[in-house]
Structure 1
Amino acid sequence: MSYVLLVLTTLFWSGNFVISRGMHTEIPPFTLAFWRWMTALLILLSFAVVHLWRQRELARTHSRFIILQGILGVGGFNTMVYLAMQTTTAINAVLVNSSIPVLIAVCSWVLYKEIMSVRQCFGVLVSLTGVVLIIAHGELAHLLQVSFNRGDLYMLVAAVIWALYSANLKRYPQGLHPLAYQSGIVMVGLVVLLPLYLYEMASGKVMSVTPGSVATIVYVALFASILAYIFWNRAVRDVGANKAGPFIHLMPVFSAILAVLFLGEKIYSYHLQGIALIFTGIAMTTFKVSPGE
């Protein structure tokens, strides 16, 4: 079940990348981040308020953990992603985002001395090769033509932040309800985002209220925020950050599928080859082949 949750998480996040890039002229980055999480909080509270009240003492005991996770996972990561999508392409973002499994492994080792096996390391390399194959359209020359800019640096910072957030889930308080935890980190994140949102509005950057912008906010709030975060948090706690990390490489797979379904694009042989490598790599990092591993 945990692996199904990871697949759904990457599907929802793939849509988030595509939509945020497509709507970057209508919705400023801090505005999108703020209203994404404000909408998510309003939805969450209708289900979580009972759990928050019952577990207020437990949440208070672990307030430092919740505050740190809120700063990293809500205030920091999403803000950097939306900043990145203002000046970079979806291809560049997915390419940089693909470094997350490696960064998670590094953070897990530095913080908690967790070491990936040789097989898991090789699996990450295989799935990363599949990502590169898709991005390069099957030809190395395409990859060499990709240029990087300031937005890519923002995306790299976002990847580091998410790796820290994911590795830190090892410290998740036992017994804390997922809805109580999610509501707590969202509240913290909104405190971080509010001054950035107000500054953005004061500088004249405001959201165009259109059916498209409203639909975008609803999608990123419900699917990319509430469901994806709850699924990711649960799966990482169950299987560990190092096993969950390579599932990030499914994002270019889902991006390609979404492009075919909604944008009329075509699937080419390099897509299928890349997808095969990605699934092979994920299988290598996920499933044991001998009792000794």
Structure 2
Amino acid sequence: MEIELSNQRTFWLAFLGLVLTNLFWAINVTLARGYIDQVAPIALNLFRWLGAFILLTPFALRGTIKSWPIIRPKLLPLTGLAILSISCYNSLLYLAANFTTAVNITLINTLIPVVTLLIAWRVLGNRPRLMQLLGITISIIGVLLILTQGQLLRLLSLSLSQGDLLMLAAVTCWALFTVLLKKLSIKLSPIIVLYVLIMLGLPFLLFAYGIEALFFRSYWPPLSHLGLFAYLWVFPSIFAYIFWTYGVQHIGAEAASLSITLMPLFGATLAITFLGESIYWFHIAGGICSLFGMILALVSPERFTRKTRQKSSAC
């Protein structure tokens, strides 16, 4: 009984963490869109992670040194994970925001669960369960309801731009990161994993920042942008990545990726709250579909089997 309660507690903590992660990331996208004319995209990503690294150092440096015997043999795969997550994903997303609409970015981002399932099937040999496929379908329908304002035929008029292709690359990077993180299965706390990933990813971001400043656009954060970066350092960087790592470790890569379908729901809520937009039926219907689909795909068949057995025993 104690083990079962512990498993349930772990499951719901992971679930709550994934919900908060997508809220933090939705705010991150909203802020990035608002500052896109003032902040260069690679610079935004660099200073975001540099600040997070500095904030994490007092809490993670000692544990990282102590865990170095575990980390050292896995430096190469960890570097690959750092390039995919820290260096590439958000850089590509911020770049995409210069060339495509927020609707397209959010829509393409919802492909992450599908791409993750396909990669996990290939890399981990995890054949998608019927419940997962059904949950994904329901969640994506909910997302599409929100993005198309209840008119699904609008999807036929969408066209791919340079920004859309950048988002497709970003989606692939994040799906690969999620699956490979699960495959690596490193026995370290999420905060140390994040700290190591930032440490390994920053040199690549510094190199990209140098190219951006030299050939395209130079940027150094002014004091007026301190509030923006303070949020980026703490919530979408530190908390979100720790919660995501915890979710991947405890409920799996495919299940964790399904939570991405909550981002459009949070994005719509933010627009209603801060931009004065109205709420319509498709916001409510889409949100219910996204949440129900995520829960359906996350709950394993064993949970239903165990409950059925318990009821049978009681009778």
Q: Which of 50, 53, 75 matches 1:63?
A: 75
TM-fit CA distance, 1:284: 1.4
AA paired with 1:29?
P
**Larger of the two Rg values belongs to structure:** 2
Unaligned runs of 5+ in 2: 1-12, 307-315
- Aligned partners of 1:46, 1:180: CA distance in 2, in Å? 11
AA paired with 1:282?
M
Deviations 1:126-170 (A, max 9, x none): 110110111001113433343331001000100001000001122
Q: Which of 200, 203, 221 matches 1:188?
A: 200
TM-score, reference length from structure 1: 0.95
SS in 2 for 1:267: coil
1:197 maps onto 2:209 in alignment:
yes
Q: Identify which range, 210-219 or 245-254, moves more after superposition.
A: 210-219
Q: Structure 1 residues 269, 156: closer, same or farther in 2, change over 3 A? A: same
AA paired with 1:263?
L
Tell me the residue number matched to 1:291.
305
Deviations 1:67-121 (A, max 9, x none): 1111111111111111111111111100000000000101101111011111210
Tell me the residue number matched to 1:269.
281
Unaligned runs of 5+ in 1: none
TM-fit CA distance, 1:192: 0.8
Tell me the residue number matched to 1:128.
140
Structure 1 contact 127–249 (Cα < 8 Å) conserved: yes
Percent identical across equivalent pairs?
33
Structure 1 contact 134–271 (Cα < 8 Å) conserved: yes
1:34 maps onto 2:46 in alignment:
yes
Q: Which of 94, 101, 122 matches 1:110?
A: 122
TM-score, reference length from structure 2: 0.88
Structure 2 contact 185–249 (Cα < 8 Å) conserved: no
Structure 1 contact 75–188 (Cα < 8 Å) conserved: no
AA paired with 2:64?
L
Deviations 1:13-62 (A, max 9, x none): 11111111111111111101111111111011121111011111111122
Structure 1 contact 36–217 (Cα < 8 Å) conserved: yes
